[in-house]
Chains A and B, each alone.
Chain A
Amino acid sequence: MSSFQQTLGHRRYIFDSLKSLLAKASPARSGDELAGIAAASMEERVAAQLCLAEVPLKAFLEDALVPYEEDDVTRLILDSHDPAAFAAVSSFTVGDFRNWLLAYDTDAAALSALAPGVTPEMAAAVSKLMRNQDLILVGKKCRVVTAFRDTIGLPGRLSVRLQPNDPTDDPRSIAASILDGLLYGAGDAVIGVNPASDSLQKACALLSLIDELRRRFDIPTQSCVLAHVTTTLAAIEAGAPVDLIFQSIAGTEAANRSFGISLKLLEEAREAALSLNRGTVGDNVMYFETGQGSALSANAHFGVDQLTCEARSYGVARYFQPLLVNTVVGFIGPEYLYDGKQIIRAGLEDHFCGKLLGVPMGCDVCYTNHAEADQDDMDTLMTMLGVAGCNYFMGVPGADDVMLHYQSTSFHDALYLRQVLGLRPAPEFEAWLESMGVMRDEQLQPVSERHRLLEGLLLGGTM
C-alpha cells in the first residue's frame, strides 16, 4: 500500500493510504467526521487535495480501496472496467482529469465514450477537486438517456417521479395523490409508491391499481412499488403487473448484505422483469435508490469516505442498465450530512459521479426535520441540479411525504423548474398531457370538474 505526502511551508502532511488520502480530500461533512476519517483541519483537507491532484488515474486500478478478494462490488468494478474506453485519459493525473473534463472539446459524445473506462473511485476522486460550478458544468455535458414506456433524460427535458405514498397503503388515498400529480403534469419518470408494509399481497394490490389506471388512460409511463426485491420477485411469480424492479443499493458487498441483497439476486430479478417484456420504447427495467452514508450506517464502509462509497453504488447500478437511479440525498439525516450546505454539495457530487459513470441520475432533493435545512436549501439544490441536467426529481404532494416523514420536492417545484429553465416533460408523456388538456404551450391548463381523468377515476370504481 502506497503512502502520500504533501509539504506546505514548514508542515509536512502524510497520508498513509490512497483510501485515507481520498477521505481527507473530501469537502467537509458530518458522516466522514462520524467515521473518524475526515481531515483534521482545513489546511490538511487542501493538502490532501493538492496531493490527490498528482495521483495518476491508473492508481485506482491498481490499489483497490476495498479488497478485491473480500468484496463483490470491487470485483464488479474492476472486472467490468473497459481499458479501451479508459485509453483517452489513462495518462492523466486526477488534476489533469479535472482540466480535461472542463475542456470545450470534451463534449457529450466524448463523455459517453469514456464512461465504461471510468471507475467510481476515479469519479469520486476528481469530484473532490471540483467546485459546485464544475460539478454542474460537467454534469450538464453528460447525457444518459433511458427508456421503458417513455424516454427519460433527453436534452431540454425534466421528468418527475410521482410519489403518492400513504402511511397505511390505502388505495383510495394513493389514487387521489396520483390524480393530483397527473393533473399537475407529473409522473413521466415513474409512478412509484413506497409501501408502508412489505406485504406481498399489498404490493400486488397496489401494482394492479396503478396498472389499471395507466391502461385505462393510456398513460405513457411505468409503475413501481418500491418493495424489497424479494417481494417484487414474488409478485412477478404471482402474476402481478411488474414494470420495474426497485431496490436500495450501496457501495460495498457487506452494506448490500445488510439490505438483504446480493448482486446475484439483482441479476435474477432483472432477468425476471425482462422476461415480462412490458416496455414499449425501451427495456431498462431497474430502479435503484442510493444515498451517501448508507455504507457507514450499515457499518460496512471499510474506512472509505461516504462519497466514494456512494460512487461505488453507481458502479453497481450501471451494470444493471437501470431506467432510473436517484440519490435520496438528505434522507439519512444530520449525522451524515449536517445542514443545507452539506446536502447541496452532496446532491451535486452524486449527480456528477453518477452521470460521469453513465448512470441515468435523478435526485430526491430532500431533508429531514432533524437536519439544519429548510425549503430554501431545497430550492437552491433543485435549481442547481436543474441547470446540471438532472434527469428527474420526485413529485410529492405539497413536498410532504406523509409516510416516510421527510420533505422532498413537489409537483409545484417541478413546474417552477420547467418554467425557469425552459424544460419539458418526456416527449411521449408531454404529448399525452396535451391530449388530455392538462398542459399546453408548456403551461398547466385549468381543468374542469368534468375532466376525463377526474370523472374516470371517480366513476371508474377506483374510489
Chain B
Amino acid sequence: MSIKKTLPKKSLVITDPWVNLRQLTDARIALGRAGGSLPTMPQLEFQLAHARARDAVHLVFDADGVQHQLQERGHTVQRIHSEAESRRVYLRRPDLGRRLDDSSRSALAKFAAGGDSGFDAAFVVADGLSSLAIHRHAIAVLQLVWQVLMQEGWRLAPVIVAEQSRVALGDEIGALLGAEQLAMFIGERPGLSAADSLGIYLTYAPRPGRTDAERNCISNIRPEGLCYEEAAQSLVRLMVRARRLRLTGVGLKDERGEILHEERY
C-alpha cells in the first residue's frame, strides 16, 4: 500500500499562489494552510529538520582528522582542550568551555617559552556547537586567508585545534601565544536549514576578560550562505584594519564584519 493514498486530498490544503517566490529565499514561505494552520507535509518536514539539527549538536568532533588535513597542507598543529570534559558538561557550563584545561595551558605556555612567540596573528579551529561546520568548511576558508597573509609577510602562529571550545577560549590562547590578534573558526549553533554554518570571531589583543563588543564576527559561512571567498576576503580586510587601528569590535566596522551583540555559537 502506498503511503500517498492515505494522505488527505490536495483540496483540503489551501495553497499559496506565490509559491514561485520560494526560489528567492531559503525561508519557509508559501507553505499553504489547513484552515489557518500548517498543513501536514510542511509540519513533518519541519520535524525532520529539527531532528537533524539536534543530531548535529551531538556529533563527535573529529579533531584527529582535522589535524591530519592541516598537516597535509604543511601546517604545524597544536591540539588543545577546554575544561569542559564532555558535550553534556559543555552545554551546561559555557564558563568551562572558555577556559583551557591544565595540560593545554602548560603545553601552550611551554611552546611560548621556547622563544617562539610574538605572532602577528593566530588561528583557532574549534568545534563550538557544530562539528559538522568545521569538518566541512574550516580548512578551506583558513587556507584562503593563510595564503594572502603569508604573501603579505605576516608572522602566523601554529594552527590551534580546540575541542569543546567556546569563542572566548581564544582569549586565553591568544594571550599565551602573545598573538596580536586571533581569529577563531567555530561551528555555529545549528539551525533548521543549516546545521553546518561556520562563524569567525576576530579579537585584537586577545586576553581573558575581553567582551563581545570587542570582537567582530563573520557568520553563516557555508556554500549556500556566505561563500568561502567572500568570507576570506572579509576576514583579511578586517585583520588588516584591526592591525592598523589596533582594535576590533564596535570601533571596527566592515561591510561584512558584524558587531557581536549576542552569543550565537
Interface residues of A (CB under 8 A from B): 30, 34, 164-168, 170, 172-177, 179-180, 183-184, 196-202, 228, 230-231, 248, 257-260, 294, 297-298, 331-335, 338, 368-370, 374-375, 396-407, 410, 412, 415-416, 418-419, 443-444, 446-449, 451, 454, 463
* Structural contact, B17 and A447, CB atoms closer than 8 A: yes
Nearest A-chain residue to B55, judged by Cβ: A369
Which of B27, B94, B188, B219 is close to A173, meaning CB atoms less than 8 Å apart? B27
**Chain B, 52-67, CB within 8 A of any chain A CB:** 53-54, 56-57
Count of CB-CB pairs between chains A and B under 8 Å: 199
Q: Does B72 contact A (CB under 8 A)?
A: no
Nearest B-chain residue to A234, judged by Cβ: B253
* Structural contact, A197 and B256, CB atoms closer than 8 A: yes
Q: What is the number of residues of chain B that contact chain A, defined by CB distance less than 8 Å?
A: 63
**Chain B, 240-262, CB within 8 A of any chain A CB:** 249-250, 253-259, 261-262
Per-residue 0/1 for B190-222: is the Cβ within 8 Å of any A Cβ (1 yes, 0 no)?
111111010000000000000111000001100
Measured in the bound complex, the distance between the Cα atoms of B263 and A257 in whole Å is 15
Which of B28, B54, B57, B255 is close to A197, meaning CB atoms less than 8 Å apart? B255
A4 vs chain B, min Cβ distance (A):
28
Q: Contacts of B254 on A, CB cut-off 8 Å?
A: 199
Q: Does B114 contact A (CB under 8 A)?
A: no
Which of A230, A335, A412 is close to B250, meaning CB atoms less than 8 Å apart? A230
* Structural contact, A415 and B54, CB atoms closer than 8 A: no
- List 14 A–B pairs whose Cβ atoms lie within 8 Å, in order of A's numbering: A30-B92, A165-B27, A167-B220, A173-B25, A198-B257, A199-B256, A248-B261, A257-B211, A397-B27, A399-B46, A400-B192, A410-B38, A446-B14, A447-B17
Measured in the bound complex, the distance between the Cα atoms of B262 and A333 in whole Å is 11
A115 vs chain B, min Cβ distance (A):
28
* Structural contact, A406 and B193, CB atoms closer than 8 A: no
Q: A332-B262, A398-B31, A404-B264 are in contact. Are A260 and B213 (CB under 8 A)?
A: yes
* Structural contact, B261 and A415, CB atoms closer than 8 A: no
* Structural contact, A398 and B249, CB atoms closer than 8 A: no
Which of A259, A334, A396, A415 is close to B36, meaning CB atoms less than 8 Å apart? A415
Measured in the bound complex, the distance between the Cα atoms of B192 and A21 in whole Å is 40
Which of B38, B47, B219, B262 is close to A412, meaning CB atoms less than 8 Å apart? B38
Q: Does B29 contact A (CB under 8 A)?
A: yes
* Structural contact, A374 and B262, CB atoms closer than 8 A: no
Q: Contacts of B257 on A, CB cut-off 8 Å?
A: 197-198
Nearest A-chain residue to B197, judged by Cβ: A405
Measured in the bound complex, the distance between the Cα atoms of B25 and A164 in whole Å is 10
Q: Does B50 contact A (CB under 8 A)?
A: yes
* Structural contact, A176 and B24, CB atoms closer than 8 A: yes
Q: Does B49 contact A (CB under 8 A)?
A: yes
Q: A398-B31, A399-B46, A400-B191 are in contact. Are A370 and B24 (CB under 8 A)?
A: no
Q: Contacts of A405 on B, CB cut-off 8 Å?
A: 188-192, 194, 197, 264
* Structural contact, B264 and A449, CB atoms closer than 8 A: no
Q: Contacts of B193 on A, CB cut-off 8 Å?
A: 400, 402
Q: Contacts of B91 on A, CB cut-off 8 Å?
A: 333-335, 370
Measured in the bound complex, the distance between the Cα atoms of B262 and A406 in whole Å is 13
Which of A173, A257, A370, A449 is close to B17, meaning CB atoms less than 8 Å apart? A449
